[in-house]
Amino acid sequence: MKSICFIFNKPPYGDHKGRELLDICLMSAAFDMPITVIFKSQGVYQLLQNQQPDVISVKNHSATFKALDLYGVENILVESESLLEHNLKMEQLLPIAEAVSQDVVKHQIASSDFVIGL
Amino acid sequence: MSTLFILNQPELLDDCITVMQPDDALLLIENAVVIATKSSTTQYKMFVLKDDLIARGLFESIHDQSTAIDFSKFVELTLAYDKSVSWL
């Protein structure tokens, strides 16, 4: 079975890429192939709690990240070096991801059959 | 598994490099070809699309660390590596 890895590397709401990639993740989950979701670089901001994009009249997709678990996507990783770089703590993030080192991220990307970042 | 990382936005170079493994390679296309005109510190094999360099009048100023390729070589590269990843 082919495995696929999605990479969030941009902050939310400045563009629709985060929401679109999340939609792609949920659609891919329907095909029950092994899926990994990775948040690295500025993508760690996607997981910040208490986002309120309605103040800039943009749809809040952060609540939808919890649907990943519902869809059976369990391998959700956040790169600890990126958290450090953007001085964020795991407690500030939605409790859906596991903190891993950059080496784990590198290995995950190398070993996945398909890798899609947006 | 070796990966060919395809980059079309120069500002994402550093981000892309953080996930590369020793035997991966980087292919610069579109605006990212400007990277090939500077000496780079990356130890990865670097290819750059010739047409995008010529289009931008940069073909003569290519740095010897990168290898200029045409489209058919581009196709060959995608077969030579286990997978290609467009780093967006």
d(CA B60, CA A82): 38
Total structural domains in chain A?
Answer: 1
Q: Does the structure show a pLDDT above 90 at A102?
A: yes
What are φ and ψ of residue A77, in 5° steps? -120, 145
Residues B3-87: name the CATH superfamily: DsrEFH-like (3.40.1260.10)
Test A109 with B15 for CB contact under 8 angstroms.
no
Q: Which residues of B touch A17 (CB under 8 A)?
A: 88
B20 touches chain A (CB under 8 A): yes
Q: What CATH number does residue A85 fall under?
A: 3.40.1260.10
User: Which residue of A lies nearest to B87 if distances are taken between CA atoms?
Assistant: A117
Query: Of B24, B5, B18, B22, whose CA–CA distance to A38 is shortest?
Result: B18
Angstrom distance (rounded) from CA B30 to CA B55? 9
Residue A45 domain boundaries: 4-117
Q: How do residues B69-86 score in pLDDT, each as one tens digit?
A: 999 999 999 999 999 999
Which helix (H) or strand (E) is A4 found in, with range? strand A4-8
Once rounded to an integer, what is the mean pLDDT over residues B17-24?
A: 96
Question: Distance (Å) from the C-alpha of residue B15 to the closest C-alpha of chain A?
Answer: 7
pLDDT category at B41 given cuts 50, 70, 90 is: confident
Q: Judge whether B68 and B59 are in contact, CB under 8 Å.
A: yes
In the block, tokens 């596991």 appear at A98
Nearest to B1 among A41, A102, A110 (CB): A110
Model confidence pLDDT, tens digit, residues A51-88: 999 999 999 999 999 999 999 999 999 999 999 999 99
A21 Cβ partners below 8 Å, 6+ apart?
Answer: A6, A8, A116, A117, A118
Q: Identify the residue among B2, B13, B19, B20 best suited for mutation to test binding to A, counting A beta carbons within 10 A and taking the highest.
A: B19
